[in-house]
Amino acid sequence: MGLTGSGKSSFISKVTGNVEGVGHDLTSCTSEIKVTKCGDMGFGNIVLVDTPGFDDTKKSDLEILEMISNWLKETYGKVLLSGILYFHRITDNRIVGTPLKSLEAFEKLCGEDAVAQVVLVTTMWDELEDDIGVERLEELKSTCWKGMVSRGSEIFKYLNTPQSAEELLERIAGKSSERRHVLLQKEISEWKKELPETEAGQALHSRLEQLAEQRLRALKRLRAEQSKFADARTTNELQQEYADLKAQLDETLKEVHALRFLPRKKGAVTRLRGILKALSQILSHTLLQFNTSASAN
């Protein structure tokens, strides 16, 4: 697992020698779950499962989580995971926004029992100075990844070579005696939870609420700036920013509607709806201001 462009499909191509489906931009090339059998590579038969990232360009986060959930449910009792790989671009300066949402959902999906099966794979080392990469890795160890590492997750520096890919596979094979179900499998298959009630589903809801609050603050700032400036250039720039925020709001509304969440925290749905209502009101008022300014100019 990992964000779009983090090197998941590229890793599999290095293992299999098949370059089909390897992306070279930030458009997702993995829109479905793909299972690849690698055969016996000297340390047992290896099967790799490639999933779209939570920032997929073709599917919403809910659709991705539902896709993963369905696959885990279908294979429950038949497949135990030796290792769970999470790919991260070392070129990313900070883990905020979508990357943070992806990591949080991933951690909740795995759960406490399977966290020791996780290998946090850093990629793109050839795209920056090594000392910068080392510094960023140390920051990851002391911040976002600290909890998972303290509970048994490992870190692997992937160099995008066949040899490095083989070393990573060998690392996974070494965990085969400790195969376990991830938490999401148990929640769906054993405990009969609906997807929105799972830990991963709740994590997505929390991130949606945070994103909505961030956009509300951004729109309030946008309104304040718009009232200060009346020149056409500034108005056009602010109107473009408004359009971007409107698109983000539409996407958030779409996901909230699709998720049909049943959060355990009382009042969470009401709170999120209130934020979204405030966003819509500010958007409408801001658009009116823009139209008035355009007419005056």
Mean pLDDT (the chain) is: 77
SS3 144: coil
Task: Pick the range with the lowest mean pLDDT from 50-64, 132-146, 181-195, 208-222.
Answer: 208-222
> From residue 127, how far is each of 131, 132, 181 by CA, in Å?
12, 11, 35
H-run or E-run covering 105? helix 98-114
Separation between Cα atoms, residue 30 and residue 232, nearest integer Å: 43
Q: Flag whether pLDDT at 254 surpasses 80.
A: no
**Is the confidence at residue 262, as pLDDT, over 50?**
no
Higher pLDDT, 165 or 98: 165
- What is residue 21's predicted lDDT score, i.e. its pLDDT? 45
Least confident of 141-145, 161-165, 171-175: 171-175
pTM of the model: 0.73
Q: How many CA atoms lie within 13 A of 113 on its CB side?
A: 13
Buried b (16+ CB within 10 A) or exposed e, 111-141: beebbbbbbbbbbbbeeeeeeebeebbeebe
Backbone angles phi, psi at 219, to 5 degrees: -70, -35
Question: Residue 130 CA to chain centroid, in angstroms?
Answer: 25
- 3-state SS class at 63: helix
Place of tokens 């996901």: 255
What's the confidence (pLDDT) of residue 47? 85
Q: Which of 172, 128, 179, 214 is nearest to 15 (CA)?
A: 172
- Each residue's pLDDT tens digit, 192-224: 998 878 898 888 777 766 766 776 677 677 667
Q: Is the pLDDT of residue 164 over 90?
A: yes
Residue pointed to by tokens 């070494």: 174
pLDDT of residue 26: 35
pLDDT at residue number 34: 87
- Is the model more confident about 38 or about 19? 38
